Structure 1
Amino acid sequence: MTVATKSHIVKRRIDDYVWRDDTLASRRLRHVLAIHFHQFDNVAIVGGMVRDFARVGKLGFKSDVDLVIDAPVEAVADMAKSVNARTNAFGGHSISEMGWNVDFWALKSTWAIREGHVAADKLEDFTRSTFFNYDAALYDVRRRRVLHDETYLHGLQSRVMEINLRPTPMVLGNLYRAVRRILLWNLSPGSKLKSFITENLDNDGFRDVVAMDNRKSATPFLYRYKSASELRQSVICRDYRVAMATYYGEQLDLPGLAQGPIHSSV
């Protein structure tokens, strides 16, 4: 399945999976959404699920579900307490049920909005608060609509990942995500993301992202790179990746150096 060219294609893909598929996973997801989140009028699926369905459809979706709720912070906290949700990073909550891990936040408690980097009065304002442009889309659960700006799908089609909002409390985490996504999905970084990578992928950053990859990923591969400069060049320059692939041949089968598409969660 290819990158969606129109918003209605993304909507259809997600509609099918969430509301029409009769697989066990889809039925369980519908159940979790219904029993825990039906009380809120404005709930959106954000993050990896929307991005992956837009990029490659359900075969590329392997992540958990992230939700943002446009409701008072106290109301979301009360619901989280009633279902014994765990506290997650940066003011959110987590539940694990029926095979699904769901992280959820009140809109006003999400980091960039809470810290004043983005003013938010409605669900779609969340799309301006993500670090990556690839994550700047959401699916309104009740109204079954996909929301993003006019540049979102072009960014996916052109395979250019860029910074959407620069302030972040997770410099290392977003550096790690940038490196893995660019290599696994064979992307190019935009000018702002290229500067971010150049600034932070020094020797210390290289050591830290390799350690994070070994610790967090089921398929670590960054340890195969020899130095910060080699990894940095591979991430920043697609031509360098091709040259590396030619140079190493079959001796070094690195994700991101293959010519075909590679689908993996990040």
Structure 2
Amino acid sequence: MTVAADVHIVKRRMDDYLWREKTLASRRLRHVLGTHFYKFENVAIVGGMVRDFARVGKTGFLSDVDLVVDAPPSEVADLARTIDAKANSFGGFSLAEPGWNVDFWALETTWAVREGHVRARGLPDFPRSTFFNYDAILYDIRKRRVLCGDTYFAGLHQKVMEINLLPNPTTVGNLYRAVRRILLWDLSAGPKLQAFIRDNLDESGFRDVVKADNRKSATPFLYKYKSAQELSQAVMCKEYRRSMATYYGAQLSFPGFCHPQHPV
């Protein structure tokens, strides 16, 4: 499936998967959303799922579901207690259901809004709060609409990932995600993201992202790079990463030669 051209195509892909498909995964997700979250007037799937449906369709999505609820934090916390959801690392809650893990937040408690970097009066403001431009998209499950900025699809089609909002709660986490996504999806980094990578991918940062990859990923590969300099060159230069893949051999599955559907 190709990169979506506009919000209408992403909406159709999301609508089909969430409300029409009869697969076990779709039916289970419908049950989770309908049972626990449809009671809220304003609730949206944010980030990874919508991003991947826009980028490559449902076959590219192999991750958890993230939700943001525009409701008083006390009401979201009450729901969490009722369904025995656990507090997660970033001020929200995590729910494990058959076939799905769901993380959810009240809009006011999402990091960038809570810290005052974004003024959010409703769900349409949320896309301004993500670190990466690729994540700056959401699907409103009640209104069945997709919301993102005017330049969102240009970034996808040009395969340029850029910083959307620089302040962030985890430099190592975003460095790890930047490196892994750029390599696996064969992207280029925009100017602000290039500067972020240059500033943070020193030898200490290199060790941190390799550790994160080994710990978090079912398909770790960053350990195959010998140094921060080698990894940085691969991230910054498509030609260099392809020459490395040729040099080391296809068995190493370097990005540009990896299957695009590995989770990040």
What SS is found at the alignment partner of 1:91? coil
Map 1:56-95 → 2, pairs under 5 A:
56-95=56-95
Q: How far has the Cα of 1:175 moved from its partner?
A: 0.4
The normalised TM-score by structure 2 is: 0.97
- Structure 1 outlier segments of 4+, above 6 Å: none
Q: Which residue of 2 aligns with 1:263?
A: 261
Residue 3 (structure 2) pairs with residue 3 (structure 1): yes
| Contact residue 245 and residue 254 of structure 2 kept, 8 A | no
State the one-letter code of the partner of 1:151: T
Residues 161-218 of structure 1 deviation map (CA, whole Å, 9 limit, x = unaligned): 0000000111000000001100000000000000000110100011111111111111
Q: Which residue of 1 aligns with 2:206?
A: 206
State the one-letter code of the partner of 2:255: G
Q: How far has the Cα of 1:248 moved from its partner?
A: 3.1
State the one-letter code of the partner of 1:265: P
State the one-letter code of the partner of 1:167: P
Distance 1:29 1:246 in 2: 41
Q: How far has the Cα of 1:98 moved from its partner?
A: 2.1
Q: Which residue of 2 aligns with 1:150?
A: 150
Map 1:71-220 → 2, pairs under 5 A:
71-220=71-220
| Contact residue 210 and residue 222 of structure 2 kept, 8 A | yes
Residue 246 (structure 2) pairs with residue 253 (structure 1): no
| Contact residue 62 and residue 261 of structure 2 kept, 8 A | no
Residue 13 (structure 2) pairs with residue 29 (structure 1): no
Distance 1:218 1:12 in 2: 30
Distance 1:261 1:99 in 2: 23
Long gaps (5+) in structure 2: none
| Contact residue 93 and residue 104 of structure 2 kept, 8 A | yes
| Contact residue 3 and residue 56 of structure 2 kept, 8 A | yes
| Contact residue 91 and residue 109 of structure 1 kept, 8 A | yes
Distance 2:90 2:100 in 1: 21
State the one-letter code of the partner of 1:183: L
Distance 1:45 1:257 in 2: 29
Q: How far has the Cα of 1:39 moved from its partner?
A: 1.5
Q: Which residue of 1 aligns with 2:41?
A: 41
The normalised TM-score by structure 1 is: 0.97
RMSD over aligned CA atoms reads 1.2
Distance 1:215 1:249 in 2: 25
Q: Which residue of 2 aligns with 1:240?
A: 240
Long gaps (5+) in structure 1: none
